[in-house]
Amino acid sequence: MQLPILGVLLLSSTALISLNASPVLAETPPPRVIASSSAITAASPVKSVSVLPDAAIRAVANAPRVITVTARPGTGIMLSSGKSVPIFTRASAKGFVVFRELTPGQTYLIQSMGKDSSRARISVTALTAMRAPTRLTATTTDQRTSIKLTWQYTPTRATGGTAVGFRLTATPLDSSFATITKDVRNVRSMVLTGLSPDARYTFTLTPRNSAGSGKSATATMNRTLAEIHGGNSTSTPTSLAPAADASLEPIKTPVSPNIAEVSTPADANPPAPPTPVPPTPATRTIYVCPDDFAETGDICTQTKAYTYSPVTETTPYTYSTESRYESCSGPDCPGSVYQDFGTDWSGTTCPRGGTMHDGKCLGWTNGNKWVNYQVKDAPPMGWHDDGSAFARVIQVKDAMPAGFADDGTNWIKSASKIARVVPA
């Protein structure tokens, strides 16, 4: 049996963290330790700064983009990631070093050097502030004092991966009832028990990692469990429309009329039987995707294929050198000789070439030489010559439509399911 969804008010937000390339050093009081490493020469794990062996260190990602290292005062500390220049420093007089402005999701190697040349190493991943969970939903169970909560949250390396925990707080709207708190880790649903059937609660879900608590998501009941279940604690829970749509009222199960028997004297004519009243058609509330949306698991999605527009792309001409063996004459022409070609019988013309100078036909003989020319190359494959450059038309993906996201294959948009009343 599918359990109905309580009417809830959903609130969520996402924290955006800007990343800087170089870590920054600062000093703040040391936090609670969640990771430790002892020097190679130490016999057992250390328990306090005052008894730390030389080179022993502890480290924790205790705030967004921050790692705090605890060590003996004056211990040499080096932080490196393989992607930037290592940072060298020493533990303060209070026995700690704080590295700030780190890259979330990046694992840093922290090494120490003691006075006796012993070393310790520890790897710690810098974290970022956590965004709020999404789609926090409360549904009834078969018990009058419990509800089931589900939510969506995708852990990343930058938020702590599977080390992310959640704190759920059920706060009654009436302060005369008790507040209930429960912590869970690496789950996306839980059953919360111990609720009062006569109270309405606001459920607050807060993600947590070693760097602190993220932004919360909340959901508020619009009716008490007693109102939903009625007088019978094992009865099937009544479906509720989402609180965001006040036009949809809960469906009430029709009640058959009670017909009392009336005794009559033996000699009286029996009354005519009452006209049968047709039963009211039974209905139920289902949750379906809006029009043009397809159901994908617990959410509804709409996809659109990419569209493209033609864009002309140009590139300058390229040239190649071409050599040709050509006839020539003159001082720059190999094999050309300046000589007297001789005149005709009159001594005034140059029938065999040359130019008349002081009664002589003087000139250069013919020769040959290699001449280099710059010749424009043919257009590359897929290009053409537009008269000023090589050009081609390419298809460029259009801008993403409003309200959609790009999943790498299509444009996609998601939506919540909506309530719809149908025959039972």
Tell me the pLDDT tens digit for each residue of 92-123: 888 888 988 888 888 888 888 766 556 788 88
Question: What average pLDDT does this structure show over 59-79?
Answer: 86
As beta bridge partners, residue 315 has: 390
Amino acid code (one letter) for 11: L
Whether residues 58 and 191 fall in one domain? no
Whether residues 6 and 142 fall in one domain? yes
Q: Residue 254: inside a domain, yes or no?
A: no
Q: Residue 200: inside a domain, yes or no?
A: yes
Residue 22 has pLDDT above 90, yes or no: no
As beta bridge partners, residue 326 has: 369
Q: Residue 275: inside a domain, yes or no?
A: no
Whether residues 61 and 81 fall in one domain? yes
Region of residue 337 (phi > 0: left; psi between -120 and 50: alpha; otherwise: beta): beta
Look at the chain and report how many structural domains it folds into. Answer: 4
| Confidence band of 171 (pLDDT split at 50, 70, 90) | very high
| Residue environment code for 374-413, b if the CB has 16+ CB neighbours within 10 A, otherwise e | eeeeebeeebeeeeeebebeeeeeeeeeeeeeeeeeebbb
User: Residue 151 phi/psi, 5° resolution?
Assistant: -155, 175
Residue that is last in its domain, among 94, 125, 156 = 125
Question: What average pLDDT does this structure show over 244-268?
Answer: 36
Whether residues 1 and 54 fall in one domain? no
pTM of the model: 0.43
Whether residues 175 and 293 fall in one domain? no
Range of the domain at 298: 282-307+399-424
Whether residues 143 and 192 fall in one domain? yes
Question: What average pLDDT does this structure show over 271-293?
Answer: 77
Residue 365 has pLDDT above 80, yes or no: yes
Whether residues 103 and 183 fall in one domain? no
Residue that is last in its domain, among 110, 125, 140 = 125
Whether residues 170 and 221 fall in one domain? yes
Kindly report the CATH number assigned to the domain that includes residue 190. 2.60.40.10
Whether residues 194 and 225 fall in one domain? yes
Whether residues 9 and 149 fall in one domain? yes
